[in-house]
Copies of this chain bind each other. A is one copy, B any other.
Amino acid sequence: MEKLVGACMFGQSGGPSSVINSSAAGVFTEALKQTDCITAVYGAAHGIRGVLNEEFYDISQEDPKELALLKNTPSSALGSVRYKLKAEKVDDTDYKRLLEVFKKYNIRYFFYNGGNDSMDTCNKVSKFMKKSGWECRVIGVPKTIDNDLDVTDHCPGYGSAAKYVATTMMELKLDANVYDTPMITVVEIMGRHAGWLTAAASLANVKGLGADLIYLPEVAFSTEKFLADVEKKMKQNNGKCMIAVSEGIADEKGTLIAEKMNENIAKDSFGHAQLGGVGAALANMCKEKFGCKTRAIEFSLMQRCGAHLASKVDVEEAFRAGQAAVRYAVKGTTDKMVLIKREMSNGKYKGKIGVMSVAKAANTEKKVPLEWIINDGTMLSQEYIDYALPLIQGDCKAPLEDGLPRFAKLKKVLVEKK
C-alpha cells in the first residue's frame, strides 16, 4: 500500500458519552505521532457541520497534558451534531462542499466517531470521495451507550453507562429498603429500540441489589401483565418492588407505552395528570392500583455523562479504538469501522480491535437476543451477565482537584480559513 500524505480530520457526532473523548484522545495522540503521513491534525467543531463550514481546530496547538485528560472527560469536547447527509442523488450540495474542503486542506484521512447515523455519514463520505477520485481513507470509530451497532461485540460508551446503571441501582435498592412500608420504585433508563442499557440493571443482581423486574423494548409490553408482575413481586418481597424500564417499551402494535399512557391521561383528564417519561406514568399507575408509595426516577443525562463512574475497560477500549483507527488508515485501510472482538482466555476477557465494513455498521441495529430475556420477559439471563460484566470492570476517572474532577481544557484554536 502506498504511503498517503496529508491532513487528518476527526469529528464527534451524535449523543455524548463518558468515553467519546477517550476515543478522541486515542485519535489525536496517535495522529500527532504519525508525522510521516499525517501533516496536520484537525478536530471538526460540531462534527460534519464543522467540516462543511470550515470550522475546525488545530490539534497540534493543544497541550499534550490536556489531550491526555480528554480520556476522562465526558461529553464531546469538540462539540457534536445531529446532521444527516442527504442521499447524493437527492442533493449533492454537501458532498461537493466536502470535496472542496478536503481538497483545500489536503484532507486525506477522515475519522468519525458515533453511532449508526454517524457511520452512515462515514459511509457516504467514503463512497463519494472514492467516486470523485479524491484519495481519502475513511474510518469510523464506534460510540454509543445504546450498544446497538452490529458485528462489533459491543460499543465503546456502553460499559461506562452500564456501570453507572448497575452501581446506581444498587445504591437505590439500599435506599428503597430503608423503611419497612410498601414502596414501588420505577427507574427509567435510556434506550429507544434496544434494551442493552436497561438490561444493565440486572448486573446489580450479581450483588443481590438489583431490579426485581426489568422491561426492555425487545418484548411487547402489556400494562395488565406489568401490574400482575408487580403484585407478585410485592408479595414475595415484603411490599417492595424495584423496576427498571427502557424509555422505549412499546405494546404489541409497536406503540410507545409513554405515548399511550399520556393519551389516556389526556382522555380521562383525571385530577393528577402526568406527562413525561414512561417511568413516571407507570409509577402513577402503580399508585392508583396498589395505593402505596411509589417513586419514579430518571437516570436522565447522568447515565451517559457520569464519567466519574466510567469503566476502566471501556475507557481503555475507547482510547484504543481511536488509536487503531489512525494506525489502520495509515497502513492503507479505508471504508471501515473499527470494532471490538471478544477474546476469552482462561476465563479472562480481552477486547481485541478489528475492522468491519462501515456500510454494514450504518445499516444494522443489534438488539438484546430474545433468549437472554427470561422470567416471562422480566429479567436477564446469566448469558447477559457473562456478556456485560467484563465490560464494567475497573475504575478510571479524572484526577481530583479541589475535590472535583479535573477535566480537559482545550484551547480550540480555529484553523484559519483558506
Contacts and interface: CB of A to CB of B under 8 A. Distances in A.
B308 A309 contact: yes
A81 B179 CA distance: 6
Given A178-B75, A305-B172, A392 B407 contact: no
A400 B407 contact: no
B404 A203 contact: yes
A152 interface: no
Contacts of A269: 269
Contact of A405 (B74, B170, B274, B394): B170
Interface stretch (A60-68, A88-96, A295-303, A327-335): A295-303
Given A207-B402, A308-B171, A178 B16 contact: yes
Interface string A157-176: 00000010011101110111
Interface in A43-89: 46, 73-76, 79-82
B392 A168 contact: no
A171 B389 contact: no
Interface in A274-317: 274-276, 280, 295, 297-298, 300-302, 304-309, 311
Interface-centre pick from A16, A178, A265 (highest chain B CB count, 10 A): A178
A74 B209 CA distance: 12
A273 interface: yes
A180 interface: yes
Contacts of A16: 174-175, 178
A392 B393 CA distance: 26
Contact of A76 (B166, B178, B203, B297): B178
B394 A75 contact: no
Contact of A178 (B80, B272, B298, B401): B80
A76 B173 CA distance: 11
B276 A174 contact: no
Q: How many copies of this chain?
A: 2
Nearest to A206: B402
A204 interface: yes
A122 to B, nearest CB: 19
A409 B309 CA distance: 23
B75 A163 contact: no
B407 A79 contact: no
Contacts of A176: 301
Contacts of A309: 308
A177 interface: yes
Nearest to A171: B305
Contact of A404 (B166, B275, B407): B166
Contact of A79 (B179, B266, B273, B401): B179
A30 interface: no
Interface string A75-119: 110011110000000000000000000000000000000000000
A347 interface: no
24 contacts: A15-B178, A16-B175, A74-B174, A75-B177, A79-B180, A80-B178, A82-B179, A163-B403, A166-B404, A167-B404, A170-B404, A170-B407, A171-B308, A203-B404, A206-B404, A207-B401, A276-B280, A295-B300, A297-B302, A298-B298, A389-B402, A389-B403, A392-B403, A395-B400
**Considering the complex of A and B, which 8 residue pairs feature the smallest CB-CB distances, nearest first?**
A273-B273, A75-B174, A175-B305, A392-B403, A393-B403, A171-B305, A80-B178, A297-B300
